[in-house]
Structure 1
């Protein structure tokens, strides 16, 4: 096992591959279900990471060169997945993925801190007249090279196009397929188009 990661696996037929990980510090992986898979790419940094896979058939894949501080919880129904593309950095995020849904984050994204990304509300809201549930879970997609500002929330069904920026404290509930957007607000809306961003400051 990798130094800096405390692994607790009480399930069966789980695969946890941390062989390529780089710096790991104060992190914990708890796997209570069966047939789960966690794959960490080359040179990945895990700092204060908490993973809880409490159902079956879940997949967590972290691409090479990522630097991550996050909590990942999969406990509501089986067969959920989270994929994080190569070179993505996450300063502090709670990922909650349930009801058989997926979170897909692209390459070279920059997610700030105190973020919430969740595909499920964890509890049902029922329409009284029909008796039907009205808040079903849905996948989340964040395409390549997206910057998500601090305190933002990305909710079920959201989609953010590549090269875009999600403003601080935004609540994203809609699909923004267009690339190069600034989106912001609660709920978030398109504020500007035709932009790109870079990690180093100009000048």
Structure 2
């Protein structure tokens, strides 16, 4: 019991109380359907355009800027541009050094997921993350090339949605690009570049930079 109370006190000592109160009780851009709250740790930057929305469903908290080293001032960033919507179900845990950015009119739908330090997710169209997803350090997830390429007057590299299923583990420094679907229970190994749809598989990039796929796998936290 003592350790539980002690841990809770340590957590509150690292939270930006003023922003906690503002985002959960006064900010009209945050909608809460349940007891889940935004928990902004110190040195967290949250930038919400006037018509953007964060919609929190259920009782899980959206923890931003966690696990920071004592004395560190490293920031975590959450930015929603005009018309962007983030629908959060069951909360999430974003570590220090993380960037989550939704461009104009972009959508982000998530079950509970964790995202470790120095990972970046940018949505221009829509990114969906399922329940119980672990994103390791240095991961990059983009659903767009961000700079259009035209051929005969037509855009040939438009944005494409990303869908990540339940119970997926994405290893350190992996890159997930537009149009990718990752099936439930998959593991993406470290340093892997994923550009195509994959099912229930372990995705390993070997020393020759080729994919080695192992199907019908099961893993546990």
TM-score for both structures, normalised by structure 2: 0.73
CA distance in 1 between counterparts of 2:53 and 2:36 reads 15
CA distance in 1 between counterparts of 2:138 and 2:170 reads 11
Give the match for residue 52 of structure 1: 79
CA distance in 1 between counterparts of 2:21 and 2:141 reads 24
Give the match for residue 55 of structure 2: 39
Give the match for residue 67 of structure 1: 93
CA distance in 2 between counterparts of 1:121 and 1:15 reads 28
Other structure's SS at 2:121 match: strand
Superposition pairs for residues 93-104 of structure 1, below 5 Å? 93-98=119-124, 101-104=125-128
Gaps of 5+ in 1: none
TM-score for both structures, normalised by structure 1: 0.78
Q: CA deviation at 1:149?
A: 0.1
Taking a change above 3 Å as real, the CA distance of residues 114 and 72 of structure 1, as seen in their structure-2 partners, is: same
Superposition pairs for residues 1-203 of structure 1, below 5 Å? 3=17, 5=19, 15-17=29-31, 20-21=36-37, 23-26=39-42, 27-32=44-49, 34-40=50-56, 42-47=60-65, 48-56=75-83, 58-69=84-95, 70-75=98-103, 78-86=104-112, 88-92=113-117, 93-98=119-124, 101-127=125-151, 130-176=152-198, 178-179=199-200, 181-185=201-205, 189=211, 191-199=213-221
Higher helix proportion: 2
Q: Please say if residues 14 and 35 of structure 1, whose CA atoms lie closer than 8 Å, have aligned partners that are also in contact.
A: no
Q: CA deviation at 1:62?
A: 2.5
Q: CA deviation at 1:198?
A: 1.2
Taking a change above 3 Å as real, the CA distance of residues 24 and 8 of structure 1, as seen in their structure-2 partners, is: closer
Q: CA deviation at 1:190?
A: 5.2
Q: Please say if residues 175 and 192 of structure 2, whose CA atoms lie closer than 8 Å, have aligned partners that are also in contact.
A: yes
Q: Which shows bigger deviation, 16-25 or 136-145?
A: 16-25
Q: CA deviation at 1:24?
A: 3.2
Q: CA deviation at 1:4?
A: 7.2
Deviation per CA, 1:3-50: give whole Å up to 9, x if none. Answer: 2748999xxx95224762375313221123x42111345233221531
Q: CA deviation at 1:170?
A: 0.8
